[in-house]
């Protein structure tokens, strides 16, 4: 009899072979539950529901660094994108280059999520825009956020505010007084009527090639990701 393992997984081209049975691990039956990444990561961080699960790379690093030994990370990256190319800005915000983000209010679904971490890293190390140079507004409430599950606190000197519960990144971007830019995964949820424009990085492929071609980048293994796969430790696993 095959080993029965539950797996929490998202729905994207890299996971379809598992979901449709094209890829089957030897002597293992995977019992899949398909979820949105934000819900999947939150449930796994809070309750460790699945024997195998996709996991936010940044949240995995945080929780492991805090001494949580429930999970073992596997280098299987199910999302590959250059997230900084998804920065949306209000057209009239006067943001023509990444440097123009200094002093601006920036909306993010969650400060600690991997997509936001990647974007901050690129802005800081490639364009000289430090997280302390911006004011962040986070959409997810503490009780529903990955940060709430890991006990996240903003780094010293970094301002992270909470978007009101009755608002969203999209609605606030439409308000003249609120964020002049939003980052990464939130872009897909913004209405086409919102006065935004992806003007910080107008040529994503060229930007991506320029970064990965630099010394120290290993294209085959070091690529942008929003999630890796983790396995829950079994009792007595060392």
pTM: 0.76
Question: Residue 66 above 50 pLDDT?
Answer: yes
The encoded tokens of residue 225 equal: 């990701």
Architecture of 3-80+223-232 per CATH?
A: 3-Layer(aba) Sandwich (3.40)
pLDDT of 183 reads 55
In the chain, ranges of CATH 3.40.190.10 domains:
3-80+223-232, 83-212
Cross-sheet strand order for the sheet of 105-108: 159-162, 135-138, 105-108, 181-182, 88-90, 196-197
Average of per-residue pLDDT across 196-210: 52
Please, which residues have CB within 8 angstroms of residue 107's CB and are 6 or more apart in sequence? 136, 137, 138, 139, 163, 169, 172, 173, 178, 179, 181, 182, 183, 186
Asked if 57 contacts 225 with a C-beta cutoff of 8 angstroms, the reply is: yes
Task: Count CA atoms within 13 Å of residue 184 on its CB side.
Answer: 29
60: nearest Cα among 47, 41, 32: 41
What is d(CA 203, CA 120) in angstroms, rounded to the nearest whole number? 19
pLDDT band of 210, cuts 50, 70, 90? low
pLDDT band of 52, cuts 50, 70, 90? very high
- Domain at 83-212, CATH from 3.10.620.30, 3.30.450.40, 3.40.50.720, 3.40.190.10: 3.40.190.10
What percent of the chain stands above pLDDT 90? 39
């Amino acid at each position: 009899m095959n080993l029965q393992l539950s797996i929490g997984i998202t729905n994207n081209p890299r996971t379809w072979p598992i979901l449709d049975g094209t890829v089957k691990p030897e002597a293992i039956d995977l019992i899949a539950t398909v979820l949105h990444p934000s819900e999947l990561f939150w449930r796994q961080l809070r309750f460790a529901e699945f024997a195998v699960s996709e996991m936010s790379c940044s949240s995995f690093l945080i929780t492991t660094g805090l001494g949580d030994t429930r999970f073992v990370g596997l280098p299987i990256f199910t999302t590959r994108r250059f997230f900084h190319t998804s920065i949306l800005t209000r057209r009239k915000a006067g943001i023509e280059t990444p440097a123009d983000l200094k002093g601006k209010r920036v909306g993010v679904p969650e400060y600690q999520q991997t997509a936001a971490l990647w974007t901050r890293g690129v802005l800081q190390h490639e364009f000289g825009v430090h997280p302390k140079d911006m004011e962040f507004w986070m959409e997810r409430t503490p009780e529903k956020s990955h940060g709430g599950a890991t006990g996240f606190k903003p780094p010293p000197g970094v301002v992270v505010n909470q978007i009101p519960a009755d608002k969203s990144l999209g609605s606030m971007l439409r308000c003249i007084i609120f964020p002049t830019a939003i980052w990464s995964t939130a872009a897909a949820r913004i209405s086409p009527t919102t006065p935004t424009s992806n003007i910080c990085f107008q040529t994503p492929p060229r930007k991506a090639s320029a970064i990965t071609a630099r010394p120290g980048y290993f294209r085959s293994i070091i690529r942008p990701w929003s999630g890796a796969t983790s396995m829950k430790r079994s009792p007595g696993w060392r």
